Structure 1
Amino acid sequence: MSVSGWFILTLALSMANLPFATGKFFGVISLRHGKRSWIYIVEFVLAYMIVASAAYALEAWEGRVFDQGWQFYVITVSLLIVFSFPGFVCRFLLPRTLLRR
């Protein structure tokens, strides 16, 4: 795999877990009432757009950009959801497990 491929995978892993790392919007903007569920969804959509834009830019830089169908976008969204699982577990499931003990 090329360096750009590893870069995109690393970027996708970090961007997928960023919403769960902190209580702030994208780790920067403090929210008065904390994060609601719709804010996590907005952060996820923005993270997908950032990763997809970076991947498109790297593909254009390396050569010809290939057309993608709806299947490509469904698979990449699914991958980003899978990549975000460790952050979700650490943010929501692990504290409840530790409190039960």
Structure 2
Amino acid sequence: MSLTAAVWIVILCALVMANLPFLLERRLAPWPWGAASGAGPAALRWGLGLVFLAGVALWSWGTLALVGGSFAGGGAATALFLLKLLFSLAFAWALLALPGWRGGTGGVKSFFDRLLEVLVGYVLVGTLGFSLELNLGNAFPQRWEFYAVTLALFLVLGYPGFVWRYMLRRRPR
């Protein structure tokens, strides 16, 4: 895979993940609070929230091992690499679809819920970007300044969704 292709994959994934919490009303993460958190005891809701965060950590570790450790040479190696990349993205999609599967689609998400979902998207896209950087063979250690700037850029990418959700006037039905 070329550097240009990897950069465009990360940019497109970041654009989608930064806007998704604002464009969807259904939850992308099973937070244990709020009206849409679903029925059931509080311990079960907190347990599902912790399982979700463990799933994000597992996905991050697996993506670094699977995609970052691959070799994207020519021919069959490239096809295998793209298959691993698609598998990783499908697992992330399944992880984000978990609240919809358990019926947590009702209610209105608060701004705090959306902000936490944006942060989860930042972690997912950052892990994907770092694994693609590892795959290209030039992974550099980053300090806090890098993460502060990339988080600010991620929030800027999410601005169209924020405007759509909170700043546009909608006509009553």
Fold-level similarity (TM above 0.5):
yes
1:9 corresponds in structure 2 to: 11
2:127 corresponds in structure 1 to: 53
SS of residue paired to 2:160: helix
Structure 2 unpaired stretches of 5+: 29-95
C-alpha separation between the residues in 2 aligned to 1:15 and 1:46? Answer: 9
Identify the range of structure 1 (23-32 vs 76-85) with the bigger mean alpha-carbon deviation: 23-32
Amino acid in the other structure paired with 1:71: E
**Identity over aligned residues, as a percent?**
32
Count of aligned residue pairs for this structure pair: 97
Whether the 8 Å contact between 2:26 and 2:106 is mirrored in structure 1 is no
SS of residue paired to 2:109: coil
| Deviation of 1:42 (Å) | 1.3
| Deviation of 1:58 (Å) | 0.2
List aligned pairs for 1:66-77, cutoff 5 A: 66-77=140-151
Moved over 4 A (4+): none
Matched, 1:86 2:160: yes
Instruction: Give the TM-score normalised by the residue count of structure 1.
Output: 0.87
Instruction: Give the TM-score normalised by the residue count of structure 2.
Output: 0.52
What value does the CA root-mean-square deviation take over the aligned residues? 1.6
